[in-house]
């Protein structure tokens, strides 16, 4: 089987474009841990981000897989660009014979937002890549990774979904599940992926969600829906999700136990 390279898009591309001119040039520094090697403007920042990424790697893997990931053969390189804006991230993977062969990560934004948002999000992608051994459906990969971010970002996603429904920009789930490339409405796509992922996880937990996604890729989404959620097909799942959304839009999102908080350059486990 030939190697497969997967490159992901920045989750908030519009935020990150207008802030670079305000950031002073800093001498780069590097810090290496067991599974990450971080290049950042300062040594302290590189160490803080690397240690936080390691902590996220442990907690997120345990939350999703029930156990830690084994150490990677090669540390994942992480490039950090400090700006005065919100956080964004990009992780690229290479796959071969059901295994991750290489991966690299870039994050940017304010340090507090990188720690609270970008690093947990991007590390979740590495956990999913290790579990699936290949590309995960876009909606699930991005939507479920957003659940690792802090409460502020998850509330923002809820607002995005409310706006999406208000302007009827949402997609039928049968269509959403088949999307292979990022659509033009990237923000709406992330929001809808977050909402359906949250719904499925609240309904059946993380292990069932992963089994559902894996089954959907193998036997089709209708069969996967019936097997793992007891609904007739994706259309019925779509109706159930929309009914849930109407109630969830007036209820604050639950605090997610896997989120690692980070403030003032430090992380609390």
Per-residue pLDDT of the chain (269 residues; tens, 9 = 90+): 344 444 444 444 433 333 333 344 445 899 999 999 999 999 999 999 999 999 999 999 999 999 999 999 999 999 999 999 899 999 999 999 999 999 999 999 999 999 999 999 999 999 999 999 999 999 999 999 999 999 999 999 999 999 988 888 889 999 999 999 999 999 999 999 999 999 999 999 999 999 999 999 999 999 999 999 999 999 999 999 999 988 776 665 555 545 444 433 333 33
Q: How far is CA 224 from CA 1, 38, 121, 216, in A?
A: 26, 39, 26, 5
Kindly state the DSSP code that residue 29 receives in the 8-state scheme. Answer: E
- Which residues are registered as beta bridge partners of 93? 6, 103
The label of the residue with tokens 């292990």 reads 207
pTM for the full model?
0.84
Give me the numbers of helices (H) and strands (E) for the chain, helices first please: 9, 8
CB 139 within 8 Å of CB 192: yes
Task: Say whether both 14 and 102 belong to one domain.
Answer: yes
**267 is a domain residue:** no
Task: Say whether both 27 and 118 belong to one domain.
Answer: yes
Task: Say whether both 8 and 131 belong to one domain.
Answer: yes
Sign of the CA dihedral 71, 75, 77, 82?
positive
**203 is a domain residue:** yes
Task: Say whether both 9 and 132 belong to one domain.
Answer: yes
At residue 23, what are phi and psi to the nearest 5 degrees? Answer: -95, 125
Task: Say whether both 150 and 115 belong to one domain.
Answer: no
How many domains in the chain?
Answer: 2
**233 is a domain residue:** yes
Task: Say whether both 167 and 232 belong to one domain.
Answer: yes
Task: Say whether both 89 and 203 belong to one domain.
Answer: no
SS3 222: helix
> How many Cα atoms within 13 Å fall on the side-chain side of residue 152?
11
Chain CA centroid to CA 243, Å: 25
- Which residues are registered as beta bridge partners of 80? 107
Task: Say whether both 88 and 38 belong to one domain.
Answer: yes
Domain edge (last residue) among 136, 171, 199? 136
**192 is a domain residue:** yes
SS3 198: helix
User: Residue 68's domain spans which residues?
Assistant: 4-136
Identify each DSSP E strand in 29-186 by its residue range. 29-32, 36-40, 76-82, 88-96, 99-109
């Amino acid at each position: 089987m030939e190697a497969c390279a997967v490159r992901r898009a920045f989750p908030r591309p519009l935020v990150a474009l207008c802030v670079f001119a305000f950031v002073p040039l800093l001498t780069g520094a590097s810090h290496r841990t067991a599974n990450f090697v971080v290049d950042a403007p300062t040594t302290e920042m590189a160490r803080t981000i690397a240690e936080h990424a390691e902590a996220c790697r442990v907690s997120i893997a345990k939350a999703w897989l029930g156990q830690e990931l084994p150490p990677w053969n090669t540390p994942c390189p992480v490039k950090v660009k400090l700006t005065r804006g919100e956080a964004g991230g990009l992780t690229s993977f290479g796959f071969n014979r059901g295994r991750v062969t290489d991966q690299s990560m870039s994050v940017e934004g304010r340090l507090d937002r990188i720690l609270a948002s970008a690093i947990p999000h991007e590390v979740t992608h590495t956990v999913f890549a290790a579990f699936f051994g290949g590309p995960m459906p876009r909606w699930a990969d991005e939507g479920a990774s957003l659940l690792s971010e802090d409460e502020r970002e998850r509330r923002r996603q809820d607002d995005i979904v409310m706006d999406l429904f208000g302007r009827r920009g949402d997609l039928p789930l049968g269509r959403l599940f088949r999307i292979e490339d990022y659509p033009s409405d990237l923000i709406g796509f992330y929001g809808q992926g977050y909402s359906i992922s949250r719904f499925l996880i609240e309904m059946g937990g993380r292990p069932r969600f992963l089994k559902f996604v894996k089954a959907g890729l193998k036997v089709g989404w209708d069969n996967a829906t019936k097997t793992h959620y007891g609904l007739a097909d994706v259309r019925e799942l779509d109706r159930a999700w929309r009914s849930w959304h109407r109630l969830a839009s007036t209820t604050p999102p639950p605090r997610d136990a896997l989120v690692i908080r980070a403030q003032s350059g430090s992380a609390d486990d």
